[in-house]
A and B are shown apart, each in its own frame.
Chain A
């Protein structure tokens, strides 16, 4: 049971990383807290489902189109709505949360609820790892999670666009003096964040079904991870994902599954009391002190 718990805790942690990384990316670069993040996650899953079942497109084509569509929607949301309220945190949260609410409740209203709304696993098989059955989809999640984190690191450290992302994240006005267009970068950041939500959805949703309420769950999980890790810090996201991921699985195995949701919320509370800027929010901590 112990090794099984560890294996599933690891998978759970990677799932959390995948869920949170897009939210964190958008916030870290453009300063926009995208509360429509969970809605984007669900939207991309539904759009994949609709393309597969109404237009009879192949699975992987549908996934690719969904990811691109979600990114376009993110860019559109920035250009039409967020641009006007940027820098005013509360307006951003209300605007994005409103958009998210509208998307999720629209799907509920249209009757997209039920177990028939699901996505097939990429490869349907399972393996025995150290005495525990693990299905192929969960193994793929771990592999893709690692690949995505590595690709993101390479992107932000080696390409001029990625470096511009980091420049804007640190000091927008200085970045402007080097010819980096802040609106363009922010649009891309929101789009890329939405794209990560879509990627996460396409890999994770096959484990269960698509429910509008899942959108709120995903948002809360992303928020929990980002707050604990320190908003805007990729390293923090990974560490926090593992903290929550392991804590959840161990609570589930040794205390009771109905306590798991409380773990992440309690973790937020404790971190906010002890270290308000999160475990890795160093620079902001310094600013707070000053």
Chain B
């Protein structure tokens, strides 16, 4: 479904992603594991096209030079230089890191804004599904999203991405800043949405422990480079991973 070939991303002369290769098949949950500044967010932005928007805007104002080399193939089509809205229309939807929500709008309005490309009817139907997935959101419908807790905001953020009806869902650090209980319910929801509606998921995360058991395939990224890859189980039993991420 998605293939990344020799991807390199530069911010001026700094190399954020270096020669990355990934393959994601339909229906899989794929994890990108790495520490701070490993290049996870840059990779997610490159897959979703945000980097192209940043590139255009920086260029206009004569700011930082952002360069992207290599290839991103989605359903055998080259999307490396497509703008984010074109990729959203193709079914690639990113949920950015740190619970991206619209703080001054209510929970319902947030979902309506997210459904920009969908009809009213479709939004209503998917909203039902989101409320089934995250029952906690039901009684918060009318509340301003800025007043929700971090976990509730993360649920809303994932819900908003689902409203767009993605085929490939990109989640950038969905567990960041959540309590262990919240982490578990978010992990369960991701598993459920992958199983019930067959959405392919790529998620990036620092916390390997809650993520590794649920993923079909994982890539470990260090300094923008791929250092390890394998199935979730293989990675869990890898001594290096144990030492670096589990502290054993």
Q: Which residues of A contact B (CB under 8 A)?
A: 83-88, 157, 160, 163-164, 166-167, 170-171, 173-182, 283
Q: Are A166 and B102 in contact (CB under 8 A)?
A: yes
Q: Assess whether B93 is interfacial by the CB under 8 Å rule.
A: yes
Return B51 CB to nearest CB of chain A, in Å: 11
Q: Are A177 and B100 in contact (CB under 8 A)?
A: yes
Q: Are A84 and B116 in contact (CB under 8 A)?
A: no
Within 8 A of A (CB), among B10-62: 48, 50, 53, 57, 60-61
Within 8 A of A (CB), among B98-156: 100-105, 109, 112-117, 146
Q: Which residues of B contact A (CB under 8 A)?
A: 48, 50, 53, 57, 60-61, 83-85, 88-89, 93-96, 100-105, 109, 112-117, 146, 160-161, 164
Total residue contacts A-B, CB cutoff 8 A: 85
Listed by A's residue number, 22 A-B pairs whose Cβ atoms lie within 8 Å are: A83-B60, A84-B60, A86-B60, A160-B115, A160-B116, A166-B109, A167-B102, A167-B105, A167-B116, A170-B104, A171-B102, A173-B96, A174-B96, A177-B93, A177-B100, A177-B161, A178-B116, A179-B116, A179-B164, A181-B85, A283-B103, A283-B104
A173 to B116 CA separation, bound complex (whole angstroms): 14
The 8 Å CB contact of B101, one of A173, A174, A180, is A174
Residue from A160, A173, A177 whose CB has the most chain B CB atoms within 10 Å: A177
> Which residues of the other chain, A, contact B84 by a CB distance below 8 angstroms?
176-177, 179
A170 to B160 CA separation, bound complex (whole angstroms): 15
Return B27 CB to nearest CB of chain A, in Å: 22
> Which residues of the other chain, A, contact B102 by a CB distance below 8 angstroms?
166-167, 170-171, 174
The 8 Å CB contact of A174, one of B61, B85, B100, is B100
Closest to B163 in A: A178
Q: Are A170 and B103 in contact (CB under 8 A)?
A: yes
> Which residues of the other chain, B, contact A85 by a CB distance below 8 angstroms?
61
Return A31 CB to nearest CB of chain B, in Å: 12
Closest to B49 in A: A176
The 8 Å CB contact of A84, one of B61, B85, B113, is B61
Return B187 CB to nearest CB of chain A, in Å: 22
